Amino acid sequence: MSDSTTDVEFDPKDPNHSQFDLVREGARRDGVEIVHYQPRFAVAGTKREKRIERAIAFLLLLTGLSALAFIVIYVAWPYKYEQGYHLDKLYTPLLGFTMGLALFGLGAAIIVWVKKLMPEEVAVQDRHDNNPDLVERQLTAATLMSALDETGIKRRPLLKGALALGAAPLGIMAIMPLGALIKDPHSKDEPLFHTGFKEGVRLVRQDGTPIRVGEVSAGGLETVFPGIPEGTTLKYADSPTLLIHLREEDAAEFKPRKGYENAHYGNYFAYSKICTHAGCPASLYEQQTNRLLCPCHQSQFDVKDSCRPIFGPATRRLPQLPITVDEEGYFVAKSDFKEAIGPAFWERP
């Protein structure tokens, strides 16, 4: 509680006041009574004090080194999945471990510093709601400076250096994850925009054998994959494609999408097998109606209308794969799919 009489009498700029006098006065005006105050070390520079300083310095350096390790791992450790390669599996655990160690080191250093080096103090404080005047603000500033002095940082160069070494990498560590936020989500390198198909890649069966014209009967279909290493594995899980051979009369009624006029070869059409609703395989083919059905939520796609969704929750067409045949008569892709496969995702254009 502020006391106007004492405010006038007490001059915080009086050189006869020690810093502790200012602190005590500031505390008193705030309704805080310091009932016990005792420095931890009556004599500065004892062996015990040095030992504690070294322990704190060690913890701060541990913080700095762990934060540094975090930064190096974040930037340089392999994190992308590669077949038969396992270092990527350690990426997240190592980031978590080094970050945890850095925070532990800092927390432990603060606790030891406060408990072992700073003066013992017991104070009782009343709540006060008044707006502080100028003198009170000066006294508060003096209190803060006193708190800084009590840490002993000014006369402990070892701890000052250790704090700088520990805190700098920790600060960088804290902002490192922001790097992920400046990554271009629309980058065409994103795996969600690619399948295993590209120009010249053959369409192969699950067992890897390529398919020639005539090997799918009219009115039938075959599930095909990119004829590349691991093209039939989960690594290219978005690549499964339906190679559909429309009957002559159905092919005559086919309605191509704009830009896909030459995407088929004769009466053969290739569409992604991944449903655009939630990604199930849309593989039930109703030959009489030329509809593809997805068993998960009953979406239906009209093949004769470029796989336009005509029933169920799917709202996008199944993407079409442009195809042709190579000089040996095998089906090949003319390019990758021109749009992202499967259900919607945030960055899908």
Which residues sit at the interface with ligand FES, rule CB under 6 A? Answer: 275, 277-280, 282, 294, 296-297, 299, 312-314
Q: Which residues pair with residue 210 across a beta bridge?
A: 204
Q: How far is the CB of 241 from ligand FES (least distance, A)?
A: 16
Nearer of residues 231 and 309 to ligand FES, judged by Cβ: 309
Q: Which is nearer to ligand FES, 214 or 295 (CB)?
A: 295
Residue 256 CB, shortest distance to ligand FES, in Å, is 23
Terminal-residue alpha carbon distance, the chain: 62
**Shortest distance (Å) from residue 308 CB to ligand FES:** 14
Query: Are the C-beta atoms of 101 and 109 separated by less than 8 Å?
Result: no
- Give bridge partners of residue 85 from the DSSP assignment: 82
Which residue, 143 or 300, has its beta carbon nearer to ligand FES? 300
SS3 203: strand
CA atoms within 13 A on the CB side of 106: 19
Would you tell me how many other CB atoms lie within 10 Å of the CB of residue 129?
5
CA distance 11 to 335: 83
The angle, 0 to 180 degrees and rounded to 10, between the axes of the packed helices 47-76 and 91-112 is 160
**Which of 59, 65, 153 has its CA nearest to residue 109?**
59
State in angstroms the smallest separation of the CB of 281 from ligand FES: 8
Nearer to ligand FES, 132 or 313 (CB): 313
Residue in 139, 126, 136 with CA at minimum distance from that of residue 31: 126
Question: With respect to ligand FES, which residue has the nearer C-beta, 113 or 301?
Answer: 301
Token digits of residue 65: 């080194």
Q: How far is the CB of 333 from ligand FES (least distance, A)?
A: 24
Beta carbon of residue 291, minimum distance to ligand FES (angstroms, whole number): 13
Task: Find the shortest distance in angstroms from Cβ 345 to ligand FES.
Answer: 14
With respect to ligand FES, which residue has the nearer C-beta, 95 or 282? 282
**Token output for 309:** 């969704």
CB of 309 to ligand FES, least distance (A): 9
For ligand FES, the closer of residues 204 and 314 by Cβ is 314
| CB-nearer residue toward ligand FES: 264 or 291 | 291
Of 85 and 311, which has the nearer Cβ to ligand FES? 311
Least distance between ligand FES and beta carbon 114 (Å) = 58
Rounded least distance, CB 288 to ligand FES, Å: 21
Nearest to 62 by CA among 92, 107, 93, 94: 107
Of residues 97 and 285, the one with the C-beta less far from ligand FES: 285
- Show the tokens assigned to 33: 């009574």
The span from the CA of 269 to the CA of 287, in Å, is 14
Ranges of beta strands (E only) in the chain are 32-38, 120-125, 203-204, 221-226, 241-245, 268-272, 284-286, 291-293, 300-302, 308-311, 323-325, 331-333
Cα dihedral 50, 56, 62, 67, rounded to 10, equals: -140
